[in-house]
Structures are given as C-alpha cells and as structure tokens.
C-alpha cells in the first residue's frame, strides 16, 4: 500500500497534487510520502512485537537526511555501509546505539570515526577486518561490539547482482569456518562478540531462502554458545521484496516474515535485528518526469522523457520494471498504445521500458514512475552533465524540497582547472 492515489483525475501524494510539486520544483523530481514510510516501518516493528528487536532501516536504499529523521523519530535504527552513511544518520539525529555498521571494506579511519561517535555494533565481514578493528579500538582504549557476518551458502533466488548469501559472493565468512573465526575474535583485545549477522540478498519474494539461512544461524548460535561465546543478538539482514509489477503475486507480508523468524530463532532468546530498506522506502517514492517528445519510429514508437538512466538506473542496470502512470488519470476504457519509454542519454541502454502499454499521452504531459523510492535517488549520477534531480518530502498537505537541484554553474564549479592551463 502507498499514499499516491488519484483524486478527481489527478495523482496526489498524500494530500498534495503531484502536478503542483512538479510545477513549482520542475521535473524530473523524486517525491516521498511520510505516511507510507511510517506505515511500512510500523509493519516490521509490529511483526517482531513478540521478541526484543530493533528494525534498522537500510539507508543504502534511500539516504536523504530528512527521510532518516522521519524514521529515526519513529524509533528506527539505521544500517550503514560507509562512514558517509554513518555521518548522515548522525546528522539526522539517530544515536550511535541505534546504528549498525555493515559493509566489506571498512577502513581504519571509518572504524575510528564510528567508535568515537558511538556505534551499536560492527558487522564484521572478514578476519583481516576484525583484526584491524581490534587494533583501532585498542588504540582508542575502547571495546568494539561485533557480530560476524556468516555466509550460509543459500540461494536467494533473486537477481544475480543483488544475491549476497551464496559461497561465490564477496560477503561474509563461510559458515563452516565460523567457530574458528569466533574463537579468534574472543582472543583479540578491543573486540567484544555480541551476535551473528547474516544477509542473503535483496528483492526476495519467497520466505523459504530466509528460512533455510535462519535455520543455519540457529544451529550456529547453539554451537557458539557451547563454545562459550555470549550470543545476544541475531542480525538477520533485510531483503524482503516489493511488488514492482502490480499484476504479479504479492511478496510475503512483514507479518509472515516476523512469524517465520519467531518459528526459526525465537527459542534462542536473542534480540533480533533486521535491516529492511526496499520494503520501507520503495513504494514510498515516485519519480515524476515530463514527456519531451512523442516520436514515431520504424515499427515502434517512443516516449522521450526529461529523466534518464542517470536519474533512475534500475531499469538499465537490473532490467527492472517500474509501473509508469500518467499524472492526469486516463479516461475509463481509453485505448492504450505500446511505447518504448526512454531518456535522453546517448546510450541505447537508457531505456526505462520496451513495448509498454500506455493510455493516450502527448508532449508536456507528466508521468510518474511508481515504486521508485528505493535505489532511485541514491544511485543517481551526473552522467552527461545532467544535474542531480531534487527530492521532495510530503507530509499530509505539507511538502518541502529536501534536496534541491544544483545549478549548472554549481555543478561545473566543482571542477578545478590547474594553474598551468
């Protein structure tokens, strides 16, 4: 469910007409719904209500500080994968004790900043990282809480580029080696083991891969406790998918996911951490674009938009589907026509959809890409010297720009010409 609905033939974001925002801010533009963000966070929080838990929003999906503040004020933790994300979470007012630091390539400087600023735990992905963290923490005279990320070798049955739990993926340590790694952690100064971390992939539409991974984690928990380790937390990752295509069967609901977690690991008495990103942010955002030209081609017609793959890269990178709808609702029964929906970047890959059936549209009409809140703005670039597009947050009948579009002069001024030129 989201809060982007038609009223009297006009698409609204909560109580604000989308066309009003587009007219004021320009297009393309990302628009986020506060009500949808909070609703989806609440569904996960309620799903784990029978267990001690913390829902940590995976901010790699949507990192705007205003959005992080909305979720932080609702009680969310934040899962970060870089010191830049850590500092954004802190700027949003999220305390260090609710920030989990994941990622395979943490530097010593990143470790230092997080230890000095406060951190709930590091999800450690390798023995060299663990040893580096021990050295940094010892030099600071502190102890770093860690969970070791284990790779359970479970096929998440998702897109190859977002699968993270198979043996050939770069993430975590093989679960078969975990007991030895935990023994090494216990011997290191500056390290305190608090739990186990696992994450098998993104956009999962079936609970069975989660279930298989969590069973392995449960068995490992009992083995590690028998070895004398105090396992207090289980970080079970994120990855629950969303229905990008409205016609497809809906993925499992958070309540089903929470029930499965209770079945597989609830008996262990651990605090449960999860790291949803896409399901909280995905349907909470639209990207709105203007049709620049309607072009008739040989055997196909094109809608050429003012947005492009630099603004929303998911279709080009993952062959991902986004529903594309007119901001002015089509008349009931309007005849539809197939279009290739494309941007203006000089690459054939700059294609949002091929043969997409659309109602009658024309140049200057606005269209909205649904389910664009996750991995949209965060993956945008200035390729072809196109400025980053603005982000807008809506709350009821209020709205505000939460990242403005830079001017061309500002974009160019970041380049520095050497004095010998």
Residue environment code for 361-390, b if the CB has 16+ CB neighbours within 10 A, otherwise e: beeeebbbbbbbbbbbbbbbeeeeebbbbb
Q: Report the candidate in 290, 316, 284 with the shortest Cα–Cα distance to residue 305.
A: 290
pTM of the model: 0.94
Torsion-angle region of 257 (φ positive above 0: left; ψ -120 to 50: alpha; else: beta): alpha
* Predicted pLDDT of residue 384: 97
**Per-residue pLDDT tens over the stretch 169-192:** 556 899 999 999 999 999 999 999
* Residue ranges of domains in the chain, CATH in brackets: 4-31+282-413 (2.40.37.10), 103-274 (3.20.20.10)
| 315/388 Cα distance (integer angstroms) | 18
138: three-class secondary structure by DSSP? helix
Q: What residues are labeled active site?
A: 346
| 196/208 Cα distance (integer angstroms) | 20
* Predicted pLDDT of residue 244: 81
What would the DSSP string read from start to end of 309-351? TTT--HHHHH-----EEESBPPPTTPPPEEEEEE-SSSSTT-E
Mean pLDDT throughout 25-52?
A: 97
| 72/82 Cα distance (integer angstroms) | 18
| Mean pLDDT of the residues in the chain | 93
pLDDT band at 298 (very low <50, low <70, confident <90, very high): confident
| 241/376 Cα distance (integer angstroms) | 15
């Amino acid at each position: 469910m989201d809060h982007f609905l038609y009223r009297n033939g006009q698409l609204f974001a909560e109580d604000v007409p989308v066309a009003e925002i587009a007219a004021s801010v320009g297009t393309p533009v990302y628009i986020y719904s506060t009500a949808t963000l909070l609703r989806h966070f609440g569904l996960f929080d309620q799903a784990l209500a029978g267990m001690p838990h913390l829902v940590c929003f995976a901010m790699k999906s949507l990192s705007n500080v205003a959005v992080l503040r909305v979720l932080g004020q609702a009680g969310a933790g934040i899962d970060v994968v870089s010191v830049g994300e850590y500092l954004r979470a802190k700027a949003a007012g999220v305390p260090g004790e609710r920030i989990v630091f994941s990622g395979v390539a943490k530097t010593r400087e990143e470790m230092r900043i997080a230890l000095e600023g406060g951190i709930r735990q590091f999800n450690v992905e390798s023995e060299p990282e663990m040893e580096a963290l021990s050295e940094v923490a010892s030099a600071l005279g502190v102890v770093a809480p860690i969970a070791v990320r284990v790779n359970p070798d479970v096929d998440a049955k998702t897109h190859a580029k977002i699968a993270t739990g198979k043996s050939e993926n770069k993430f975590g340590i093989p679960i078969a080696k975990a007991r030895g790694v935990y023994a090494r952690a216990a011997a290191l100064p500056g390290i305190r083991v608090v739990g186990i971390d696992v994450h098998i992939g993104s956009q999962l539409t079936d609970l069975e891969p989660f279930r298989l991974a969590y069973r392995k984690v449960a068995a490992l928990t009992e083995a590690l406790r028998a070895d004398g380790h105090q396992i207090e937390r289980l970080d079970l990752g994120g990855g629950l998918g969303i229905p990008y295509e409205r016609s497809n069967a809906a993925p499992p609901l958070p309540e089903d996911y929470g029930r499965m977690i209770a079945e597989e690991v609830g008996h262990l008495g651990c605090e449960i951490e999860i790291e949803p990103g896409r399901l909280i942010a995905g349907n909470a955002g639209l990207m709105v674009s203007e049709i620049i030209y309607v072009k008739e081609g040989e055997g196909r017609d094109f809608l050429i938009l003012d947005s492009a793959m630099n603004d929303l890269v998911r279709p080009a990178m993952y062959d991902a589907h986004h529903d594309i709808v007119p901001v002015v609702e089509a008349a009931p029964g309007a005849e539809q026509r197939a279009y290739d929906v494309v941007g203006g970047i000089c690459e054939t890959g700059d294609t949002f959809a091929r043969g997409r059936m659309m109602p009658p549209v024309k140049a200057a009409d606005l269209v909205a890409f649904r389910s664009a809140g996750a991995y949209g703005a965060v993956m945008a670039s200035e390729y072809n010297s196109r400025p980053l597009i603005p982000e807008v947050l809506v709350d009821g009948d209020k709205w505000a720009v939460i990242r403005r579009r830079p001017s061309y002069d500002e974009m160019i001024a970041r380049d520095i010409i050497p004095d010998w030129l």
